[in-house]
Amino acid sequence: MTTGTLITVAPTGAESAKAEVPALPVTLDELLLTAKECEALGAAVIHVHIRDDEARPTLDQGRLRETVAALREGTDLIVQLSSGGAVTDPEADRLAVLDAGPDMASCTMGTVNFGDDVFLNRWEFIVDLHTRMQERGIVPEYEIFELGHLTSLQRLLGKYGLPHGGHVHVDFVMGVPGAMPGTTETLVAARQMLRDLPEGTTFSATGIGRTTIPVMLASLSAGGHLRVGLEDTITYAKGRPVESNMQLVARAVGFAQLAQRPPLTTAEARQLLGR
């Protein structure tokens, strides 16, 4: 049982519109302020999507580099860039995310239905992403949207070796329409499948929308870690919009403390993740 809790904040995402979610941080200044405030509350990792001047999702290389540099200068957070982008982004642009030199990057372990869309992750693309991160000293977080993605991860590690740093960390993304449900039963099943991965593998869990609270509680009880943020949920409670990412991080910190697994510091998080 892990004695502390790794808390990741995912503040923006690529799905919600600023006009519909005013609290969404879309400028660099807004993102940096959010990062500082969430770090002060107990977040150790920031999972980053960026927006352009019209608040639309972008993988612009200059903006990515500027964002990584600003977060490094202004916080001690582990900077994790999304290689998923938006579901319409081409593979070449998603691979180029690594050129911005983040501490970590996401690596989704398979194709999945994503609401009305398809989030495409071909095997060759996954291998390319994994091996490039090995070469560049970037730590992956393997995103698991379906239980079969864990089998794909076992295959990937068996054929191409451990990630940079030697530690395997996965994130169960639960409750996406078309993917695995955000239930305790599903999390337990996913947790059991980690036995087929290298010893010491750790996991976080992300509950999308109304699954946020049940997934947080299930993850903590199973020795897992937490990811929260406006990327994943825009409603704090029924009929009550989220006011800020800090509100979600504060709730996650409170749950972790109730579970007697207080938030890991950024230094402890780096040691855990091999970063």
Domain ranges of the chain: 7-273
> What does the pLDDT look like over 256-269, one tens digit per residue?
999 999 999 999 99
148 has a pLDDT exceeding 80: yes
pLDDT of residue 180: 97
pLDDT band at residue 135 using 50, 70 and 90 as cut-offs = very high
Q: Which two tokens stand for residue 46?
A: 């920031």
pLDDT band at residue 1 using 50, 70 and 90 as cut-offs = very low
Average pLDDT score over the chain: 96
Mean pLDDT, residues 65-84: 98
pTM: 0.97
pLDDT band at residue 275 using 50, 70 and 90 as cut-offs = confident
As a whole-number percent, the residues of the chain with pLDDT over 90 amount to: 97
pLDDT of residue 2: 59
Q: Which two tokens stand for residue 171?
A: 């994130």
> What does the pLDDT look like over 154-194, one tens digit per residue?
999 999 999 999 999 999 999 999 999 999 999 999 999 99
Mean pLDDT, residues 63-72: 98
Q: What is the DSSP string of the chain?
A: --SSB-EEE----SSS-TTT-TT---SHHHHHHHHHHHHHHT--EEEE-EE-TTS-EE--HHHHHHHHHHHHHH---EEEE-S---TT--HHHHHHGGGG--SEEEEE-S-EEETTEEE---HHHHHHHHHHHHHHT-EEEEEESSTHHHHHHHHHHHHH-PPTTS--EEEEEE--TTS----HHHHHHHHHHGGGSPTT-EEEEEE-GGGHHHHHHHHHHTT-EEEESTTT-SEEETTEE---HHHHHHHHHHHHHHTT-PBPPHHHHHHHHT-
As a whole-number percent, the residues of the chain with pLDDT over 70 amount to: 99
Mean pLDDT, residues 202-220: 97
Q: Please give the CATH number for the structural domain made up of 7-273.
A: 3.20.20.70
> What does the pLDDT look like over 19-64, one tens digit per residue?
999 999 999 999 999 999 999 999 999 999 999 999 999 999 999 9
106 has a pLDDT exceeding 80: yes
